[in-house]
Amino acid sequence: MSLKGGVGIVTGGGTGIGRAICHALAQAGARAVGVNYSRSRDDTEATVRALANYDCEGIALQADVARKDEATAMVTQIVERFHRIDVLVNNAGITRWIDFSDLDAVTDEVWQAILGVNLFGAFYCSRAAAPALRATRGAIVNIASTSGHRGTGSSLPYGVSKAALVQLTRGMAVALAPEIRVNSVSPGEVATRWSIIAKGEQYAKASQAETAARTPLRGCAAPEHVAQAVMGLVLSEFVTGQDIIVDGGLSATY
């Protein structure tokens, strides 16, 4: 599969891992990338501007992916404009930081919010994009997490949402074969604003240093490391329904 002249959509593409994926798609020759956001307009506009350096047209797409109508309208907007989609990356994600033992803090609102973005959002976007992806024999990549594989991470519902996203990946791979491949990437800790916003810069730095020391490849992942795995899956023509862990080998040690 070549991305030359192709069109991508990256949910939550204006920041962090999503931004690195937008750059990677543009670098691989995509002619346009839809950069979705819900709140981060300034970051998204900066990402869109940066894509021009690769001769790639960035389109900022405001939509809350947890809302079926907004997710569908966003995909339709790209199809109407470019008449194709080659790659969809479901990267948008949220969490709440809740100690695993604090079950009372896991309210219905928390479940609905986290599953709404991390699981339902990926499903809504994938379903809406499926007809266009079928026509190009395109690919979907979902951004899950090692929290979906282990009892670790920011909260119990977050881990459950990511485990469900890995299972959605397998199910959709079967549902959309043979035309569309569906895979996921599960990063371990990645140096983005993710933990800085919730816990502050000092916490994030300490956590990353601690992770780096325990990691066989000695480091904490950068957003670009996740983007490399995404591109590997996008370009691998006989791989579907698979999840790749990007954690420098940390999970291989336990």
Q: Which of 124, 158, 203, 254 is catalytic?
A: 158
Minimum CB–partner distance for residue 183 and ligand NAP (Å): 15
Minimum CB–partner distance for residue 234 and ligand NAP (Å): 17
Q: Is 58 exposed, middle or buried (0-12, 13-18, 19+ CB in 10 A)?
A: buried
User: What b/e sequence results for 210-231 when a residue is b if at least 16 CB atoms lie within 10 Å of its CB, and e otherwise?
Assistant: ebbeebeeeebbebebbbbbbb
Q: Cβ closer to ligand NAP: 86 or 247? A: 247
| 254 annotated active-site | no
Identify the CA nearest to 70 among candidates 25, 11, 115: 11
Minimum CB–partner distance for residue 238 and ligand NAP (Å): 26
Q: Cβ closer to ligand NAP: 123 or 194? A: 194
Q: Cβ closer to ligand NAP: 11 or 169? A: 11
Identify the CA nearest to 225 among candidates 237, 242, 238, 212: 212
Minimum CB–partner distance for residue 237 and ligand NAP (Å): 25
Q: Cβ closer to ligand NAP: 138 or 188? A: 188
Judged by the rule CB under 6 A, the positions of this chain that interact with ligand NAP are: 11-12, 14-18, 36-40, 64-66, 91-94, 117, 143, 145, 187, 189-190, 192-194
d(CA 207, CA 154): 12
d(CA 236, CA 79): 24
Query: Is the separation of the CB atoms in 161 and 114 below 8 Å?
Result: yes
Minimum CB–partner distance for residue 42 and ligand NAP (Å): 10
Q: Is 196 exposed, middle or buried (0-12, 13-18, 19+ CB in 10 A)?
A: middle
- 188 Cβ contact partners less than 8 Å away, ≥ 6 residues apart: 145, 146, 211, 215, 221, 245, 246, 247, 248, 250, 251
Q: Cβ closer to ligand NAP: 55 or 201? A: 201
Q: Which residues are catalytic?
A: 158
